[in-house]
Structure 1
Amino acid sequence: MRELALLEQQIIAALQVDPRASWRKIAAVLREPERTVARRGSELLESGVVGVRGIRLRPTPVLVEIRCAPGTSRVAVQALAQRADTSFVYTVTGSGDCLAEILTDRQRLHTVLSDELPGIAGLTHVNTYPVLRYFKTLRAWQPGPLSAEQRAALRPVPLADPTILDEYPQLGRTDEQIADALCEDGRMSFEAIARRVGVSEATARRRTEWLLETSYLNLRALVEPAALGLPVEALLWIKTAPAQLEGLGRRLAEQPQTRYVAAITGDYQILADVTVANNTALYDFTTSSAWTGDATQVTISLLLDARKRGGRLKPVP
């Protein structure tokens, strides 16, 4: 993976703060020519280095760790990645071959776990870890080279990272179609959305803003951490005392190294996705950081390949 220039990293960082920011706004914040920013930003999007996609939250997210028969893990990973309800699908080291997050409704959870997943070729065992709440999701991961002032200029009123979607809104046909459009292209213009859905541009703008403000739909700028100089990615399975769970989760969410932090059920209380520059940085983060004092056990799985992130299949090189 090629090393990105500073301006490219800044543009990606700007999109992580505000995925729908105009090139004019980004150029003004970066103090760069608008034409240059528009050209470089468009190249990043068209090449797939960065993608802006919407993802629909669901009231019953669950992590599934699967083990496969020898030689079948690629098939199983691809089958999971092709599912519309998976947000990420990772090939990992450790006791399982793959970890995926499935976003579904409560009434479908039994069918997914009991009927659909066991039908995947090569699968031999599934561990399930329902998500109780999020401390941090990919939308809040913003490692790029922007100052606090630049981030504030891009989004003066930050959207709250949702802990969980407790109430599931019933959407009308128009909202469903707008959500579908933004899941395909999070930067689709209001004019294009209006033409696709068959409503006025004002309606498209108003309904899009409602979907985002209510957190029914999240927009995320998706980029491989390695492109930002963070090639080592690991999943931390953490055990802690119940009284320490909330504080530990919040502290982990504040760390710039974490991309995702969730409270889960099962043998572990927290799962955290961490990206760092090298193994030494991972060792330091898991042994000498202040948060480790509240962890009774940390099990590390290295991420080997991300077949799907934020609902987007891995771009073809």
Structure 2
Amino acid sequence: MDGCELDRVNRQLVHALQVDGRAPLSRIGSVIGVSDRTLGHRYRRLRELHGLRVVAVPNSRNIGVRDWLVRIRQAGETVPALAAQLARRQDVTWVGIAAAGTEIMCIVHTLIGEEDAGLWRALRQVPRAAVITTQCLLQPVAGATGWQVRTEALDSDEVSALRPHAAHDSDGERVELQDGDWRMLRALSKDGRLGFSRLAEVTGWSEASARRRLATLRHSDAVRFTVEIAPALFGYEVEAMVWLKVTPMLLSETSAALARHPEVAFAAHVTGDSNLMAMVMCRDTQGLSHYMLQQISLLPGVLGAEAQIVVRRTKRAGSPPPALTTTAARRHVDTHAMLRGMSTTSPVAAASPRFRTDAIEHANPS
């Protein structure tokens, strides 16, 4: 499988790993009717050539963490280096460069009750001339269990056979994570399929203790596993961030309609001038234009919309992966280098930068 898109068996494998990121390949093979040897070969090829990864993602709601969507504009020529710095932080995910290489968007995770300090720490390297806007992610409305295009290869019986357990409904009860939990989650954010012997090493626990604790965290829905793989392998070449301003009384109806769009990989209610955001995947720029004109415009209660194409992702849900193989590296085009000539450097602000949080401006502490 060296083509530009995935065939049926590879789509089934990706879907199965989204259902249970730690399922043994032998179990997946038995469910989809493929031999262990064939499935193992395909899994290795997807990892080596296309960067397939399973990563652990803490469930912020259940561990006392608040998530913030951050936009950094007017950062000038520092954008590539700043995006790389943000990607290395454990409290920052989904780092992307947009607006022809002049804007950075990311999600910052802060402990509840320490939001100011957490945002300052994460953003302290931002240049003083930059403008920072933050929006609190209030409630996911789509994509919490995976992008629907990536999860349509298995039927309901196959999904049931692979599903590891039913997460316990914590009813708002938070799970207190200890130092060993965080060490385990950091390791799993790089490779969600690490064996228990390795998890025992990083936590200082026995293998049995590591196994029990991970099972507990999964059962309490404190941690989930997701698949990282390029949307282009599913035929979607363009990724964009979309912000919608929706009449409040129609927000629930609009959110439900938006969640049914196959283009929407993730969506959530947010604070600020726009109250609904979405990560959108389209086949090309013409497809994005059609999506905005023919689908977004028809949603009930939409008063305004903004879209920005993400030209480069330096980090998704998990920690940045190690260097890809030479073949994979050739497939990952440095879009910023191609667009550098198109970018414009913002004029340097005369005073300290502005930090806009939920439509209220603050001075950047850096």
State TM-score, norm by structure 2: 0.76
Which residue matches 2:37?
Answer: 35
Q: CA offsets, 1:161-192, max 9 Å, x none?
A: 99xx9654222344333323322321122344
Q: Does 1:76 align with 2:74?
A: no
Letter in 2 for 1:32: V
Contact 1:276 1:282 in 2 (8 A): yes
**Mapping for residues 153-168 of structure 1, pairs under 5 Å:** 153-155=161-163, 168=174
Kept in 1, the 8 Å contact 2:259–2:267? The answer is yes
Correspondence list, 1:252-263, <5 A: 252-263=258-269
Aligned to 1:3: 4
Deviation at 1:305, TM superposition (A): 0.6
Residue 296 of structure 1 aligns to a residue in which SS? strand
State the structure with more CA Rg: 2
> Deviation per CA, 1:228-273, whole angstroms, max 9, x where unpaired?
2111111110010111112222332233221111111111001100
The alignment of Structure 1 onto Structure 2 pairs a total of residues equal to 315
Does residue 146 of the first structure (1) align with residue 153 of the second (2)? yes
Choose 245-254 or 80-89, whichever is displaced more.
Answer: 245-254
d(CA) in 1 for partners of 2:161 and 2:121? 48
* 1:35-54 matched pairs, under 5 angstroms: 35-47=37-49, 49-54=51-56
State whether residues 234 and 301 of structure 1, in contact with CA within 8 Å, keep that contact through their aligned partners in structure 2. yes
Structure 1: unaligned runs, 5 residues or longer: none
Q: Corresponding residue for 1:310?
A: 317
Q: Which moved more, 1:265-274 or 1:92-101?
A: 92-101
1:293 match? 300
Equivalences for residues 1-317 of structure 1 within 5 A? 3-6=4-7, 7-47=9-49, 49-58=51-60, 59-93=65-99, 97-114=103-120, 117-121=123-127, 124-137=130-143, 139-144=145-150, 146-149=153-156, 150-155=158-163, 168-289=174-295, 292-313=299-320, 316=324, 317=329
- Give the residue type in structure 1 aligned to 2:88: Q
* Amino acid paired to 2:76: P
Kept after mapping to 2: 8 A contact 1:52/1:186: yes
21-30 vs 145-154, which deviates more?
A: 145-154
Q: What is the CA–CA distance in structure 2 between the aligned matches of 1:93 and 1:8, rounded to whole Å?
A: 33
Structure 1 pair 15–161 and aligned structure 2 pair: CA distance change class (3 A): farther
Are the aligned partners of 1:89 and 1:100 in contact in 2 as well (CA < 8 Å)? yes
- What is residue 347 of structure 2 aligned with on the other side? none
Residues 57 and 216 in structure 1, CA contact (< 8 A), matched pair in contact too: yes
Counterpart residue type for residue 153 of structure 1: A
The worse-fitting range, judged by mean Cα deviation, of 128-137 and 233-242 is: 128-137
For 1:305, give the aligned amino acid. R
| Distance of aligned partners of 1:161 and 1:307 in 2 relative to their CA distance in 1, 3 Å threshold | farther
Which AA in structure 2 matches 1:283? S
For 1:286 and 1:117, locate their aligned partners in 2 and report how far apart those are by CA, in whole Å: 32
The 1-side partners of 2:216 and 2:45 are apart by 30
Do the aligned partners of 2:190 and 2:318 also contact (CA within 8 Å) in 1?
A: no
Determine the C-alpha separation between the residues in 1 that align with 2:303 and 2:194.
Answer: 46
* Equivalent AA in structure 2 for residue 3 of structure 1: C
CA apart distance, 1:276: 1.9
TM-score normalized by the length of structure 1: 0.87
Contact 2:137 2:268 in 1 (8 A): yes
Letter of the 1:36 partner, please give it. T
> CA-atom RMSD, angstroms?
2.9
Give identity over the alignment, percent: 26
SS in 2 for 1:218: strand
Shift of 1:130: 1.1
Stretches of structure 2 that go unaligned for 5 or more consecutive residues are 330-366
Amino acid paired to 2:160:
A
Q: CA–CA distance in 2 between the matches of 1:310 and 1:232? A: 18
